[in-house]
Structures are given as C-alpha cells and as structure tokens.
Structure 1
Amino acid sequence: MDNNKAIIDIGSNTIRLIIYRIKAENMIKEMENIKVSARLQNYIDHNQILNPEGINVLLKTLMVFKEIISLHKVTSTKAVATAAIRQAKNQDEIKQCINDKIGISVKILSEEEEAFYGFLGVIRATDINDGITIDLGGGSIEITRFSNRKMVNYHSFPMGVLSLNQQFVKNKIPTDLEISELSNYLQLKFQRLKWLGNCQLPIIGIGGSARNLGEIDLCMKDYPLHSLHQYEMKIKDILMVKAKLESLSLQELQNVKGLSKERSDIIFPAIEVFLSIYRTVNAPFFQLSEKGIRDGIMYDEIKDQRLNENDFHPNLDVTLQQIALEFDIDLEKRLQVVNTVKRLCDTFGQAEILEVDEQDLNDLRFAGYLYNLGEFFERDSASAHTFYFITNQSIEGFSHKDRIKLALLASYQSKDAFKNYVKPFKEWFPKKDRRKLRILGSLLKLSFALNRTKRNIILGAKCQEKEGHLHLELYCNKSWQIEQQEAEKQIRHLEKSLGRTIVLEFQLTLKPLVW
C-alpha cells in the first residue's frame, strides 16, 4: 500500500518541505518540494540567539507547511533543523515554541548526522565509488570523504554562505580585496583537513548554491541537456562563471540566466568555497547532485522496510523498472523482447557482422524496459515523447551521456528520426558510435516486431550469407504469421543501418534451443 511521508528541513538559508510517496513497488516518488527563503542565519544575534523576528518567520513558515501536509494524507512527518538552530543558544526554547504552537517536534541534527544524511542522499544517486561531498548551507559547510561508497571521514565547519558573506563582504558586490581575503581564509580552513589535501577525488556539490553555480554554467554554454543532476564542471568552468559575474553591475547580476535573485548577493562567497575546495582536493571534476540531506533522511527512514542499508549502489535495473511501472509497462513482456534482441545480437556476432560487448547488451536491456513508453501519451508521436521524456528525466546512476544513449535506443524509429534526435549531441558520440547505436536501435525495434503478439514464440535465430544477402533464420514454436508481417515492415531499418539486404526465413521448431 502506498503511503506519504513528509520531511521538513529547517536550514540556515531556506526552510523546505518535501512530501514523498512510498509505493508498494519499492518506489520513492517526490510529490511536493516547497521552499521558503527564510535566511534564519541573519536573525542570529551576536549572542548566538535566534531573535523573536526570526522565530516568527520560522513559525509562519511551518504553519503553512502544516496546512500543505494535511492535504496529502501524510502518514508521518519528520522535521529536522541544521546549523542555524544547532548554533543558537536558545534552541530548546525554539523547539518548545514550535511544538506548542505548531504541534511539530523538531530534531536538531548533530554535525555528523547532517554530514551523513547528505552523503547518503548523494551516494544512492551516483555511480561514483570514491569521492568528496560538500554541502554548502547558509550557516555551515559539511564535507565528507567516501571510499568504496562508504563514508570514511567527515567534518562540519560552523560557517556558511550567509555567515561568510556577513563576515567578508560589506556591500552587495564584493571588492577584489574582499574576495582575496575570503579565498585565503577558506584555503587555510580546508588545508587543515589532512584527508582532504591533494586526494585528487571528484567533488560532489549539494545544496542550492551548488545548483545555482551549475545553472549559470549550463546557460552560459547553451548546454544541450537541461539537467543538473550529475552535471560536471572543471575548475576552468567555475572560473569562467566567476569572471562573468564579476564584470556585472548589481542590476545586471540579478538578471543573469540561471542565477536566482534570492542568491544574487551570496553567489560570490559560494563560488569561492567551491574554488577553494577544488584546489585543496586537486579534483578531476566537480559534479552536481540534486539529491541531498532530505533524500538521505527519507532513505534512512524506510531502510528497515525496503532498503538494504549496506547496499548504497544505485540499481539501474530497479530504477528503470520503476519508471516503466509508472507508465503501466508489462515488464514480463519486455523481458521477452530483451531476450530476443540478445539472441539477434549473438547471431550477428557469430556471423561476424556486428561486434557487441557486455555494455551494449546492458544498454539494450535498459532501453528495452522503456522502449516506446511515449505511447502512454500519444501513439502517433510515441518516439518523440519517449526521447523527450528520457532526455529530461533525471535518472539516478546514469551520466548525461548514458541517459542520451538510453533515449536514442528507447525511441528508435527511423534513420531520419535518429539523426534529428542526436544532432544536438553529435560531439558526445563519434561517427562509429552513432552508427552502432543506429544498428542496436533497429535491432531493438525488430525484436518488438517479433514479439508483436506477446506469445514469446521466438526460440532462436541464425544468420548466414547466401548469394550476397544476409539470411536471418528465425526458429518459432508456434505460428508466426503476425510476427512475420510485422518483421517484414521493420527489417528495412536494420538493412539501412547495416547497409545490407536481409532475407527473413521463419521455421518451426518443437524443442528449446540452447544458446
């Protein structure tokens, strides 16, 4: 049975409500994601007290969140607070006030808990085995190092983008001297972590400041895929964003594509944080994650029921099967198609017509789960809907390139459609890779034709050259009239991809074939 769970994250810069639906098929779906830019850190006075104005902002926000939660039949609500409340000397008073006036119990996360939940949210959504995570908040910075997908080090700095801005920047736009002083300060702080220095591991950025940096870079480059999850930047990219922003006036800054107006005054200290850790680590790249602390808390909440806490590697089969279930795709029937396309690949491989490796077979299996899912929206434009959906869907564990590869295979309709879809991404795939994707896509399309009646009648195949043509023998355990009719319509796509004429021959066999 499905149930809804709410997570409230009371941060130093924003307060956010996420409502998740936990589905029976081991699926977690985000139903609501609402944030309020409260900037509680700015209401902390010199005595480390959250003042009455700040408490009032917090209470008003939580009251609205409670009303939203009541509309979603939520079975449980977990509210957590991070640096701003953790550092406030009147935290007990704040918690009691929220409990009395809103009826919500708040847990204040320790530094280690905040670091771990951020790591847990990230690690289940990336295929990186060893790396660094940095969660830049308004009042703190959590950094972890993970090895073999396990957190091995963590540290929490009691400074964040808001407190750094207050400490180093006097006006809306920092001066060169202020930036220099901030950079030196950060460099000294990060260098104290011996496990961080020159470890040469990839860095994964968590939080709104990291996402804003990526959004700006996406817009500057006119990147063909508008997706932040697992988007990668080099240090030169961060420096280019910094140079662009430094050349602008305050008014121009507020109109920069990708930069939210609520962060226009804190983007500069954020950039310095990311540059400083990049240099300290000597990282190969900086990757952005759309998953973080709230997702980590949710995974931890349900792990006893559905998740193996020791298995932090994204299961790509499960991820794609969950998407397929959202579109009412019969996975058992799809497995028949996948088995058919594997047999065809083996057949063409044995005939030395096509070289297929294990990665190709995995790609075809993944694409088989989602092939032509656009029929859910409209049958006549199924291919276009399929490509658009997969291209714009953040799929955990898939790099941007792998996602486009999946979209090209799962939407394969014809040579012309393929060329149109791949055009913005041609630099990602050399000519020989594009040709192979066309062949694999046409093989997948043919396999669906051979399973048109869903009776699983194809038991084997054999390919051999006769009189200058390829003869594809298909062994069936039942009548094949409809399958032959459908295959004859689709075989021309494979012929064009291979540049060969193919003759289909169907034969009856009464015993299973061994492959």
Structure 2
Amino acid sequence: MGGGVDYPRTENKVGSCRKDDKHLRGIVDMGSNGIRFSVTNLAPPASRILPTLISYRLDIGLYDAQYDPVTGEQIPIPDEITDAIVAALLRFRVICKDLKVAEENIRVIATEATRTAINSAQYRKDIKKATDFDVEMLGKEEEGYVGALGVASGFSEVSGLVMDLGGGSMQITWLKLHKGHLSISPKGSVSFPYGAAALTRKLASLRKGKSEEEGDVEVAKFRAEMKFNFIKAYQDLEIPTDMVEKAKAEGGFPLYLSGGGFRGWGYLLLYLSQIHGRHYPISLINGFSADQSSFEDVEKLKKVARQAEKIFRVSDRRRQQVPAVAFLVNVVAEALPHGIKVAHFAQGGVREGALFRELDPKVRNHDPLEVATKGFATESADEISDLIQAAIPKPSEAGGRAAPKSVDKHMIHAFANILYVHSPMSKETASTAALYTTSTGLMATTHGVSHSDRALLALMLEERYEGELPPRDAEFKLSLQDLLTSEEVWWTMYLGAVGRVVTKVYPAAVIQKKEPRVKIHAEWASGLGKHKQKEGIRLIFRIKKVHNDPMMIKESLEDHIKDIRRVGKKKNWVGGKKGWGIYIDIKIQEVKHLE
C-alpha cells in the first residue's frame, strides 16, 4: 500500500548504523525446533518496540536430532548438526559485521535442547573452538523468566498466567506488567518436560508395543500425572490473591502463550477464523486472542490439522505435534482452578525477553503505537494531539458517560503522529492505504500492539481520509470493526472526522502556538437539538474573529463540520437507527481572543 510515497524517515534511523553501534544487539536463540538469528536496534526513542534490522531462521530441530529415528533412543547431538550450526554462526558473524554490531553485543543463547543433550558440554566446547562464541545456557527457571519477559514485550499491559511451549519443555508462571514495572512469581517459573516434540514422543512411546486398551491405560496414568504436576505448580507459584479473585469473578484466568508449540495452535485458530464467515483481518500472531470455547475445542483443531491441504504458518512438523498440544491443552484446562477465560498469543520468546530485560522500566512503559508513529510526527504533532483530545468530553461527574478506555491519550497521540502520512496520495488510494497501515503497512512490524488497538488506529485513519473504499476493501473494514465493540467503532468514526477537520484547518500540519487558528471544547450535555430533547456531545469550535481572513477558517469549518455532524445522526450510527451512537451538537463561536 502507498507505493511511491516519500514517507518521513524515522528519527532513530533504524536502518542506518554507525561503526560498532552500541545500540545494536545480535542474538542467536538456539531453540528445540529451530535456531533464530536476529539483529535489533535498541536506540532511543524506538527501543520499546524492539526494532528488528534482520531476522531469519535455521530449520534445524535440535531436539529431534538427538533421537535415533529407528530405536527412539537419545543420542548425542550429531557432528553434522554441530557443523551446520557452526557454519550458520560464522555466517551470522559476517552479517553482524556488515551491520556494524559490536562483537561484545552478539549473544548465543541456548535452552532445553542444549541443556539436556548427552554431549552438551562437548557440543558447546566445539562451537566455542570453531566460532569463538560462548554459548549461554539458560537454566530451567531462568528460561521461564526470560520467556515471560518476551511475552511481556508483546503487550502494553499483562496480568495473568504465562505458558511457554517449546519443543523439549514447557514453562509456566504468572506475570504482571503495569506501567513498565514487572512482577513475576517469586519462584520464577516451573518447568516441565512437556514440550511439543517431547510430548509427541512420550505419547507414542506409551502406546508402542501395546494393545489399544493397554495404551489407553498408560496414557490415562500419564495424564493424571501431568494434571497433578500442574495443580502443584499452580500452588507453588504463589499467584497473587487479586489475580485469583478476578479469575473467580470473571470465569477464568487470562493465558499469555508463547513458544512454537502454542504459536502453531494459535495459527490453527487464526486459520479457522479466516475461512469461516467474515475473514479475520490480521494475520499477525502477536496480539491474537481466542476465547475459552475456541481455545479448548481440541477435536476441531485436530481435524483441521489432519485434513486441511495448507495452513498458513503451520509446517508439517507442527501438524504432527498438534495431537500432543491438544492433549496438553486438555490437561491444562482441567488442572487450572477457575478455568481459562481467554488465551492471548505472543510472538515474544527468549530473544525478545533478553532484549526487553535490558530496557529501563520507564522505557518499557512507553506506548508501542505512540513510539512507532513518532518517526512520522510533524513538528506540531503534540499540539494536534491536544486539539483532537479536546474533542473528547471528560467523563461525566456521575460516571455514566465517557469515551472507551481504549481511546486514551496514547491512541490519540499515535493518531496525531501519523495523521498526515497518506495525505500526498490520491483520494482513490489514501483511505485504502490508511486502512491497512497497522496490519500490512507502515505499522505492521510494530511489536507490542494488540489487534484491537491496530483496528482502532487503522479505522480512525481511514475515516480521516473520508472513509471511501472500493468494494474489495469494504469487507476488510467490516472485519476490522468486528474486533471492536460498537461503541469503539462509533468513536473511530467520530475521531476520524475530527481529525479530518483539523487537517483542513492546518493543511501544512503547523500550529503557531502563540496564534492558534482554532480551539476545541467538548462536553456531555442535555437539551440539545432543535427540540432540546437530545443528550449527547456539545462540540464547540472557537475561532478568532478576523475581517477578510485569508485562511477562511470559518468557511472551512462550516464546509467540513458536517462530516462530524453526520456521525451523530441516528441513520449513521453503528447498526443503524437502533444501533450505538451519540448525538452531536456543533457550534462555531467567533471570539476576539483565543485563550
């Protein structure tokens, strides 16, 4: 979207590096199902969203490589696997050198598959000798802690249970992230040998050489053992009382899930949501959520994994592990007191956790969308944000009327930052490009943003460009709206229209602080409308009375506030006349002085 437009360059110059840039981090995450290589720029102001310069994966299953395909017995990591990893590490060193990553800022981090290898010590020694890289081997508890940090990096706020499902192991803990400050179980995390690959192998071994009935007995014993272990872990983790009470009241715990095993499960759910009914609009796993009934519908997901010809982002290896993951999901659902309310899927893991660990709590508290849009902000973005914010009435004293919590100052600031980006485009393309900004466009790679927030910003931007779409994109807009409440959808229409009016008053995106052209005031009011019978928002545009005003502010406002007024008419409410909306009464006041 938006090809040919010369977008502003980001302030932190994510794509450019000085010699041995101290902010660059090269990380190799040696997992059980694959080895991931990446270079990230932690330079301010964008460090909160962990901007990635390069990322790729070596398809080596380090866990599977340690088992004889015939006997099933564990064997040392084969020399040919070590040689392939050494070659990949040497290649990564060259890439890091090209990007000017300081040698001391390159880390090789290993987890369960390396920790439990028969020849772990020799394997790491061989890598050190051939590459001069030290392999940092995380212990069970630390792996869980770092993985939890990786999950936290993918959300603005977290409060719930965190589970990381790798190939060889699974970790569980609880986590809170609030205003950049992290709280985690004093026990760290509890680790189990229930990784997707390990569990697949275990379940097969329980049935090997046995009748179906005998196999069922062995599997049932193992299931009971797993359930007992999960219940004990729940007790040992010392989950905060307030989190438990909230789970009791709301019908279960929120789960935050990471690791390849759970991501595969998430992609199966995403696949189902994109082939039935209105297609789910966002194909990013981070921030994707599933309710309890969908998450626990293991028979449907197993059937899809067996029968579907091709599933987006689910490899054949992941398909083979689906029955084991389904088994795990069933046991977890049974073991958790108070059940599961919702499952949130995270892209973050050890790599993101190691990076997030370096950030100061103040930096962690930065709003990801606000950070990501900062590089596109005009010089008056703060003033424009204040102007749009002024169109949102403060909560009524009775507490009955207020804008949704999701439409907060951070969302408005992000909106203001990127308000003018698509303005050079034609009317035929601007709304469409704006609509895709957060899913496949400029903001698609932004780490730490929920799908609902992506939908909010995209819809406001699309409305800012008059909201006119060709038929092929109208369905996509509806699917984005499906991610929000009717109330939130209405506010995207309203604020998008307000943003459009602001751009007409300030087409160059420059506000002279000492000589503003307009002031906005909004309040909840009753007695509105022709017959003084309506309740809603009283929106006032105050302008300075100027004789023969060359900017024609009054005329411009009169020409465009009708777009805002239209949002307040019942026929345009979300769901029609009987749907959700707010009446809007708009006035233009001319004054001698703008205070």
Q: Which range, TM-score by smaller chain?
A: 0.7 to 0.9
**Map 1:2-151 → 2, pairs under 5 A:** 2=17, 3=21, 4-27=24-47, 28-44=50-66, 46=73, 49-75=76-102, 76-147=105-176, 149-151=182-184
What is the CA-CA distance between 1:30 and the residue it aligns to?
Answer: 1.0
Instruction: Give the secondary-structure state (helix, strand or coil) at the position aligned to 2:148.
Output: helix
Q: Map 1:311-350 onto structure 2 (within 5 A).
A: 314-316=365-367, 319-326=368-375, 328-330=376-378, 332-346=379-393
Give 1:157 shift.
1.9
1:406 partner letter: L
TM-score, normalization by structure 1: 0.82
Of 478, 491, 494, the match for 2:561: 491
Contact 2:36-2:58 within 8 A present in 1 as well: yes
AA aligned to 1:34 is Y
TM-score by length of 2: 0.72
Aligned mates of 1:325, 1:379 — CA distance in 2: 25
Q: Deviations over 1:404-447 (max 9, x none)?
A: 12211123233555976642245445555533432222112212
CA contact (8 A) 1:238 1:275 kept: no
Indicate conservation of the 8 Å contact 2:40/2:52, yes or no: yes
Give the letter for the 1:92 counterpart. A
- Answering whether residue 497 of structure 2 is matched by residue 442 of structure 1, we say yes
Q: Which moved more, 1:206-215 or 1:174-183?
A: 174-183
Q: Which residue of 2 aligns with 1:458?
A: 517
Matched residues in 1 for 2:431 and 2:384: separation? Answer: 18
Q: Distance in 2 between matches of 1:345 and 1:128?
A: 23
| Change over 3 Å in CA distance of 1:52–1:100 after alignment to 2 | same
Tell me, what secondary structure is at the counterpart of 1:455? coil
**Closer/same/farther in 2, CA of residues 501 and 138 from structure 1, 3 Å limit:** closer
Partner residue of 1:265 out of 320, 326, 347: 320
- Alpha-carbon separation, structure 1, partners of 2:322 and 2:564: 51
| Residue pair 1:130, 1:201 contacting (<8 A) in 2 also | no
Report matched runs for 1:232-381 at 5 Å.
232-246=289-303, 252=307, 255-281=310-336, 282-300=339-357, 303=358, 307-308=359-360, 310=361, 314-316=365-367, 319-326=368-375, 328-330=376-378, 332-346=379-393, 356=403, 360=407, 362=409, 363-375=411-423, 381=429
* C-alpha distance in 1 between matches for 2:559 and 2:503: 12
Superposed counterparts of 1:192-231, under 5 Å: 192-193=232-233, 194-195=235-236, 200-222=252-274, 223-231=280-288
CA distance in 2, matches of 1:110, 1:348: 49
Q: Aligned residue pairs: how many?
A: 495
- Which has more helix, going by share of residues? 1
Partner Cα separation in structure 2 for residue 98 and residue 376 of structure 1: 52
Q: 2:435 aligns with which of 387, 396, 408?
A: 387
Letter in 2 for 1:444: G
What secondary structure is seen at the aligned counterpart in 2 of 1:374?
coil
Task: Return 6-15 or 448-457, whichever deviates more.
Answer: 448-457
What amino acid sits opposite 2:297 in the alignment?
M
CA distance in 2, matches of 1:333, 1:409: 19
Task: Name the SS for the 2:412 alignment partner.
Answer: helix
Q: Does structure 2 retain, via aligned residues, the 8 Å contact 1:123–1:312?
A: no
Q: What RMSD in Å do the two structures reach over aligned CA positions?
A: 3.8
Distance verdict in 2 for CA 1:31–1:25, change over 3 Å: same
CA–CA distance in 2 between the matches of 1:345 and 1:312? Answer: 27
Q: Give the aligned residue type for 1:216.
A: L
Q: Deviations over 1:63-96 (max 9, x none)?
A: 4433433433322311011112112243222222
- 1:191-230 residue CA offsets vs partner (Å, 9 max, x unmatched): 3312469954322111122111111111112223322112
Cα distance change, pair 84–16 in 1 and its aligned pair in 2 (3 A): same
On the 8 A contact 1:207/1:292 being kept in 2, the answer is yes
Q: Is the 8 A contact 2:431 2:468 kept in 1?
A: no
Distance 1:11 1:88 in 2: 12
Shift of 1:380: 5.8
Distance 1:167 1:444, change over 3 A: same
SS of 1:481's partner is coil
The change in CA–CA distance for 1:433 and 1:7 in structure 2 (over 3 A counts) is closer
CA spacing shift, 1:277–1:448, aligned 2, 3 Å: same
Deviations 1:7-26 (A, max 9, x none): 00111221110111233424
Q: Distance in 2 between matches of 1:123 and 1:471?
A: 39
Cross-structure match for 1:409: 460
Q: Structure 1 residues 48-57 or 448-457, which shifts more?
A: 48-57
Deviations 1:361-387 (CA, angstroms, capped at 9, x unpaired): 534334222324334777862332122
State the SS of the aligned residue for 1:130. Answer: strand
Correspondence 1:157 to 2:209: no
Structure-2 change in CA distance of 1:266 and 1:55 (3 Å) = same
Residue 169 (str. 1) matches residue 204 (str. 2): yes
Instruction: Report the AA paired with residue 383 of structure 1.
Output: S
Cα–Cα, structure 1 residues 396 and 477, in superposed 2: closer, same or farther, change >3 Å?
farther
- Larger RCO of the pair (alpha carbons < 8 Å, separation 6+): 2
CA distance in structure 2 between the aligned counterparts of 1:195 and 1:147, rounded to whole angstroms = 17
1: CA distance, partners of 2:222 / 2:424: 53
2-side partners of 1:440 and 1:114: how far apart?
44
**Offset of 1:403 from its aligned partner?**
2.3
- CA–CA distance in 1 between the matches of 2:25 and 2:97? 11
C-alpha contact (below 8 Å) 2:26/2:106 kept by paired residues: yes
* Structure 1 position 475 matched with structure 2 position 543: yes
C-alpha distance in 2 between matches for 1:346 and 1:209: 45
- Deviation of 1:388 after TM superposition, in Å, equals 0.2
Percent of residue pairs identical: 16
8 A contact 1:82–1:109 mirrored in 2: yes
Segments of 5+ residues of structure 2 without an aligned counterpart are 1-11, 68-72, 245-251, 275-279, 533-537, 570-583
- Whichever residue aligns with residue 365 of structure 1, its letter is H
| 8 A Cα contact 1:5 1:21, kept in partner | yes
After superposition, the Cα gap between the structure-2 partners of 1:169 and 1:477, relative to the gap in structure 1 and judged at 3 Å, is farther
Taking structure 1 as reference, are residues 263 and 254 closer, same or farther at Cα in structure 2, changes over 3 Å only? farther
